[in-house]
Structure 1
């Protein structure tokens, strides 16, 4: 019951669509399921003895241990949730809570880049610093590889859609990479030809998948992998 509730929270709020897989959610669920299904019952089996005067106290201690362990698992999931999906040159990077220092978060240019989303990642792109601001320009150059960690460098994704379309590769190229089934399912859902779509790599700190792009609008349609 508890695991089912946590799964619902993860899939519907914190890790929508394919972000669960991209962020390594399977390992987190395995941890929580192990705690819920095995830890409590195992400890109970070890200490259970109807003749023990301290049985009620022992069972209470086990319940407390289980609750604490579950709380830790939930905290890990909460801190690992994706909060930004950032386009940068030729790929997307998914940013989790722990990827952004609170001081850097506060420097975001807009409210949506200064807030840690609870309902899935906010889409953004790495912008071009003002050339007259030499300090910011130098900072952007030095941190280019990790620009996604700095909301102060974010820009509206809408302003970079043409760039996304230009660097994206035809979706048909993914067919060669053993993703036929996922692509076929996607095309069936969309009821559109494969030529309408392109893709770019989308990365997290633990995994890499493919972001499907509409070649006309530049919208990020789906993550497959």
Structure 2
């Protein structure tokens, strides 16, 4: 391989890598800032497959470009070769986004004294059709919605829900029990910062979370999800709440 051919190949691969990185950045913004805001991406593990796909996307495309590019090829030949590469890359990216979309959180349901994170994968179409309000009949594509749950009053419904819970499908996956939270409802269940510091003190591996806690004081609540549990921090003042992958039950 002569110097000029090698230089042309490297230039083509570099351009391809830049284009791949731009596309990956756009899709990453959708995943990490819209579908899985904040620490939800770490808590729910829904992005692990996406990272793998992105790695393949960013590395494989430019490597293939390095192999197939040749300035002596006809324009039609280059279009054909790059058409195949682009199709492969988009297929991989589309599959990655599809997997992540299925596992994205769509509802954060307050149940008694804790939040339950519900993903798109956990909601059945039939249950969505039976939602208590039209607002809850569709899953969100712009981040999870926060709602509260209303326990059934009918004895048969209570019995059915109990057996369903034993099978792993509790109240949080049934939109017919969803409702908008009343003012101050969640606040009544707040736990003190002292209690969280006590949990951290009992588990050495949690010590690094101290740096992620508000200096000016805070309240918190447990957050349960299909992979375990975390917490939601409510700083004192006007700061927004945020999640931490700290399991308060371990």
Shorter-chain TM-score above 0.5: yes
Query: RMSD over aligned Cα, in angstroms?
Result: 3.1
Correspondence 1:1-225 to 2 at 5 A: 1-48=22-69, 54-89=77-112, 91-130=114-153, 133-144=154-165, 145-147=168-170, 148-158=172-182, 161=186, 164-165=189-190, 170-176=195-201, 177=203, 178-188=205-215, 191-192=216-217, 196-200=218-222, 202-212=223-233, 221-225=241-245
Q: For residues 207 and 50 of structure 1, what CA distance do their matches in structure 2 show?
A: 54
Superposition TM-score, scaled by structure 1 size = 0.78
Any idea what SS the aligned residue of 2:241 has? strand
Q: For residues 95 and 9 of structure 1, what CA distance do their matches in structure 2 show?
A: 19
Q: For residues 15 and 180 of structure 1, what CA distance do their matches in structure 2 show?
A: 25
Q: Which has the larger radius of gyration?
A: 2
Residues 119 and 168 of structure 1: CA distance in aligned 2, closer, same or farther (over 3 Å): farther
Unmatched 5+ stretches in structure 2: 1-21, 246-250
Q: For residues 146 and 90 of structure 1, what CA distance do their matches in structure 2 show?
A: 18
Superposition TM-score, scaled by structure 2 size = 0.71
Any idea what SS the aligned residue of 2:131 has? coil
Q: Which moved more, 1:39-48 or 1:12-21?
A: 39-48
Residues 166 and 206 of structure 1: CA distance in aligned 2, closer, same or farther (over 3 Å): closer
**Contact 2:106-2:139 within 8 A present in 1 as well:** yes
